[in-house]
Protein backbone atom coordinates (compact mmCIF):
# COMPACT_ATOMS: atom_id res chain seq x y z
CA UNK A 1 0.00 0.00 0.00
CA UNK A 2 1.37 3.41 -0.95
CA UNK A 3 1.92 5.96 1.82
CA UNK A 4 0.34 9.32 1.03
CA UNK A 5 1.26 12.81 2.08
CA UNK A 6 4.76 12.39 3.52
CA UNK A 7 6.50 15.77 3.54
CA UNK A 8 9.95 15.32 2.07
CA UNK A 9 12.69 17.92 1.75
CA UNK A 10 15.40 17.26 -0.81
CA UNK A 11 18.83 18.88 -0.72
CA UNK A 12 21.23 17.88 -3.49
CA UNK A 13 23.49 19.84 -5.79
CA UNK A 14 23.18 17.44 -8.73
CA UNK A 15 20.20 18.78 -10.67
CA UNK A 16 19.50 15.68 -12.79
CA UNK A 17 19.65 13.34 -9.81
CA UNK A 18 17.48 15.65 -7.69
CA UNK A 19 14.86 16.14 -10.41
CA UNK A 20 14.66 12.40 -11.10
CA UNK A 21 14.30 11.64 -7.41
CA UNK A 22 11.62 14.29 -6.97
CA UNK A 23 9.58 12.83 -9.81
CA UNK A 24 9.86 9.33 -8.39
CA UNK A 25 8.85 10.48 -4.91
CA UNK A 26 5.86 12.44 -6.20
CA UNK A 27 4.70 9.40 -8.17
CA UNK A 28 4.76 7.55 -4.84
CA UNK A 29 2.40 10.18 -3.45
CA UNK A 30 4.88 12.16 -1.38
CA UNK A 31 4.89 15.94 -1.09
CA UNK A 32 8.38 17.03 -2.11
CA UNK A 33 10.16 20.35 -1.63
CA UNK A 34 13.59 20.85 -3.21
CA UNK A 35 15.69 23.39 -1.36
CA UNK A 36 17.58 25.71 -3.75
CA UNK A 37 21.31 26.03 -3.13
CA UNK A 38 22.98 29.45 -3.29
CA UNK A 39 26.02 29.55 -5.57
CA UNK A 40 28.16 30.93 -2.75
CA UNK A 41 27.08 28.38 -0.12
CA UNK A 42 29.93 27.71 2.32
CA UNK A 43 27.99 26.57 5.38
CA UNK A 44 25.09 24.16 5.05
CA UNK A 45 23.42 25.52 8.20
CA UNK A 46 22.46 28.57 6.14
CA UNK A 47 19.78 26.30 4.64
CA UNK A 48 18.37 25.36 8.04
CA UNK A 49 15.70 28.11 8.36
CA UNK A 50 14.24 27.12 4.97
CA UNK A 51 14.18 23.43 5.90
CA UNK A 52 12.56 24.06 9.29
CA UNK A 53 9.89 26.34 7.80
CA UNK A 54 8.80 23.46 5.58
CA UNK A 55 8.65 21.07 8.59
CA UNK A 56 9.56 17.92 6.65
CA UNK A 57 8.92 14.44 7.97
CA UNK A 58 11.98 13.31 6.01
CA UNK A 59 15.02 15.22 4.80
CA UNK A 60 16.90 13.58 1.93
CA UNK A 61 20.37 15.03 2.21
CA UNK A 62 23.49 14.98 0.06
CA UNK A 63 26.76 15.48 1.93
CA UNK A 64 28.77 17.34 -0.70
CA UNK A 65 26.98 20.59 -1.45
CA UNK A 66 29.57 22.49 -3.43
CA UNK A 67 31.85 24.02 -0.79
CA UNK A 68 29.54 23.06 2.08
CA UNK A 69 29.26 19.87 4.12
CA UNK A 70 25.66 18.75 4.36
CA UNK A 71 26.28 16.76 7.54
CA UNK A 72 26.01 20.01 9.51
CA UNK A 73 22.22 19.85 9.00
CA UNK A 74 21.70 16.40 10.48
CA UNK A 75 21.65 17.23 14.19
CA UNK A 76 19.45 20.35 14.05
CA UNK A 77 16.91 18.73 11.73
CA UNK A 78 16.81 15.62 13.91
CA UNK A 79 16.29 17.74 17.04
CA UNK A 80 13.38 19.45 15.27
CA UNK A 81 11.72 16.07 14.76
CA UNK A 82 12.65 15.32 11.16
CA UNK A 83 14.11 12.04 9.98
CA UNK A 84 17.33 12.52 7.99
CA UNK A 85 18.26 10.09 5.24
CA UNK A 86 21.67 10.74 3.71
CA UNK A 87 22.00 9.92 0.00
CA UNK A 88 25.60 10.39 -0.99
CA UNK A 89 28.22 9.71 -3.61
CA UNK A 90 30.83 9.36 -0.85
CA UNK A 91 32.05 5.83 -0.14
CA UNK A 92 33.85 6.88 3.05
CA UNK A 93 32.38 4.58 5.71
CA UNK A 94 33.86 6.70 8.50
CA UNK A 95 31.94 9.66 7.13
CA UNK A 96 28.80 7.54 7.05
CA UNK A 97 29.43 6.68 10.69
CA UNK A 98 29.67 10.35 11.61
CA UNK A 99 26.27 10.90 9.96
CA UNK A 100 24.78 8.10 12.05
CA UNK A 101 26.33 9.56 15.18
CA UNK A 102 24.73 12.91 14.35
CA UNK A 103 21.36 11.18 14.17
CA UNK A 104 20.79 10.19 10.54
CA UNK A 105 18.31 7.34 10.21
CA UNK A 106 20.00 5.81 7.17
CA UNK A 107 22.90 6.40 4.78
CA UNK A 108 22.38 5.28 1.19
CA UNK A 109 24.82 5.39 -1.74
CA UNK A 110 23.79 7.24 -4.88
CA UNK A 111 24.95 4.21 -6.84
CA UNK A 112 22.24 2.07 -5.24
CA UNK A 113 18.80 1.30 -6.66
CA UNK A 114 16.23 4.08 -6.62
CA UNK A 115 13.84 1.69 -4.93
CA UNK A 116 16.12 1.62 -1.86
CA UNK A 117 15.43 5.32 -1.30
CA UNK A 118 11.69 4.92 -1.90
CA UNK A 119 11.51 1.91 0.41
CA UNK A 120 13.41 3.74 3.15
CA UNK A 121 11.01 6.67 3.09
CA UNK A 122 8.06 4.30 3.05
CA UNK A 123 9.36 2.45 6.12
CA UNK A 124 10.01 5.70 7.99
CA UNK A 125 6.50 6.89 7.15
CA UNK A 126 5.15 3.66 8.57
CA UNK A 127 7.18 4.07 11.76
CA UNK A 128 9.43 1.13 10.98
CA UNK A 129 13.17 0.67 11.50
CA UNK A 130 15.45 1.40 8.55
CA UNK A 131 18.84 0.67 10.13
CA UNK A 132 19.59 -2.08 12.61
CA UNK A 133 21.54 -1.37 15.78
CA UNK A 134 24.31 -3.61 14.46
CA UNK A 135 24.57 -1.64 11.19
CA UNK A 136 24.65 1.66 13.05
CA UNK A 137 27.27 0.46 15.54
CA UNK A 138 29.48 -0.82 12.72
CA UNK A 139 29.39 2.51 10.90
CA UNK A 140 30.03 4.50 14.07
CA UNK A 141 32.97 2.21 14.76
CA UNK A 142 34.43 3.14 11.36
CA UNK A 143 34.16 6.80 12.38
CA UNK A 144 35.77 6.23 15.79
CA UNK A 145 38.64 4.26 14.25
CA UNK A 146 39.19 6.99 11.65
CA UNK A 147 39.13 9.71 14.31
CA UNK A 148 41.68 7.79 16.40
CA UNK A 149 43.92 7.36 13.36
CA UNK A 150 43.76 11.06 12.49
CA UNK A 151 44.56 11.99 16.10
CA UNK A 152 47.63 9.76 15.94
CA UNK A 153 48.70 11.41 12.67
CA UNK A 154 48.37 14.85 14.24
CA UNK A 155 50.55 13.68 17.13
CA UNK A 156 53.27 12.72 14.64
CA UNK A 157 52.88 16.01 12.78
CA UNK A 158 53.21 17.80 16.11
CA UNK A 159 56.77 16.45 16.41
CA UNK A 160 57.94 18.62 13.51
CA UNK A 161 59.83 21.81 14.10
CA UNK A 162 58.43 24.99 12.59
CA UNK A 163 60.98 24.80 9.78
CA UNK A 164 60.17 21.14 9.07
CA UNK A 165 56.48 22.04 8.95
CA UNK A 166 57.25 24.73 6.39
CA UNK A 167 59.20 22.25 4.27
CA UNK A 168 56.39 19.69 4.46
CA UNK A 169 53.94 22.41 3.42
CA UNK A 170 56.05 23.19 0.36
CA UNK A 171 56.25 19.49 -0.50
CA UNK A 172 52.45 19.38 -0.32
CA UNK A 173 52.35 22.19 -2.88
CA UNK A 174 54.38 20.04 -5.28
CA UNK A 175 57.76 21.68 -4.78
CA UNK A 176 60.94 19.66 -5.24
CA UNK A 177 63.97 19.83 -2.94
CA UNK A 178 65.78 22.19 -5.30
CA UNK A 179 62.73 24.52 -5.39
CA UNK A 180 62.55 24.61 -1.59
CA UNK A 181 66.29 25.27 -1.32
CA UNK A 182 66.08 28.14 -3.81
CA UNK A 183 63.03 29.63 -2.08
CA UNK A 184 64.65 29.43 1.35
CA UNK A 185 68.16 30.42 0.20
CA UNK A 186 69.74 27.31 1.69
CA UNK A 187 71.61 24.40 0.16
CA UNK A 188 69.85 21.36 -1.24
CA UNK A 189 71.79 19.26 1.27
CA UNK A 190 70.19 21.23 4.10
CA UNK A 191 66.70 20.63 2.71
CA UNK A 192 67.44 16.92 2.23
CA UNK A 193 68.46 16.71 5.88
CA UNK A 194 65.21 18.41 6.87
CA UNK A 195 63.19 16.05 4.67
CA UNK A 196 64.97 13.05 6.21
CA UNK A 197 64.01 14.30 9.67
CA UNK A 198 60.39 14.80 8.55
CA UNK A 199 60.17 11.22 7.27
CA UNK A 200 61.64 9.88 10.50
CA UNK A 201 59.26 11.84 12.74
CA UNK A 202 56.22 10.93 10.64
CA UNK A 203 57.35 7.27 10.50
CA UNK A 204 57.12 7.07 6.71
CA UNK A 205 59.69 6.17 4.07
CA UNK A 206 59.00 8.60 1.22
CA UNK A 207 58.08 12.21 0.52
CA UNK A 208 54.93 10.99 -1.20
CA UNK A 209 53.86 9.11 1.92
CA UNK A 210 54.57 12.15 4.09
CA UNK A 211 52.42 14.35 1.86
CA UNK A 212 49.66 11.72 1.82
CA UNK A 213 49.73 11.51 5.62
CA UNK A 214 49.39 15.29 5.95
CA UNK A 215 46.48 15.39 3.51
CA UNK A 216 44.73 12.50 5.26
CA UNK A 217 44.98 14.38 8.54
CA UNK A 218 43.64 17.58 6.87
CA UNK A 219 46.77 19.27 8.20
CA UNK A 220 47.49 22.90 7.40
CA UNK A 221 51.11 23.95 7.04
CA UNK A 222 52.37 27.24 8.50
CA UNK A 223 53.12 30.02 6.06
CA UNK A 224 56.66 29.67 4.79
CA UNK A 225 59.01 32.51 5.63
Given a cut of 60, whether residue 4 has pLDDT beyond it is: no
CATH 3.40.430.10 for domain 158-216, yes or no, is no
Which of 202, 211, 204 lies closest to 169 in space, CA to CA?
211
Give the domain ranges of the chain: 7-145, 158-216
Q: Give the pLDDT confidence score for residue 116 in this predicted structure.
A: 95
Domain 7-145: give its CATH superfamily: Response regulator (3.40.50.2300)
| 177-225 tens-digit pLDDT | 999 999 989 999 999 999 999 999 999 999 999 999 999 999 998 875 5
Q: Is the pLDDT of residue 21 over 50?
A: yes
In the sheet that holds 106-109, the strands lie side by side as 31-34, 7-11, 58-61, 83-88, 106-109
Each residue's pLDDT tens digit, 59-101: 999 999 988 999 999 999 999 999 999 999 999 999 999 999 9
pTM for this prediction: 0.81
Amino acid sequence: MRTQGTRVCLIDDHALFAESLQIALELEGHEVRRIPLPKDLHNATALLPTVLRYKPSVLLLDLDLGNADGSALIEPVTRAGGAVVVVTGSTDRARWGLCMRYGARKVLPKTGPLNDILATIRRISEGRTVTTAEERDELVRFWRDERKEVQELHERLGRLTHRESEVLGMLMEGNQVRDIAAHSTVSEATVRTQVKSILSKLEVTSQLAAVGLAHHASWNAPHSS
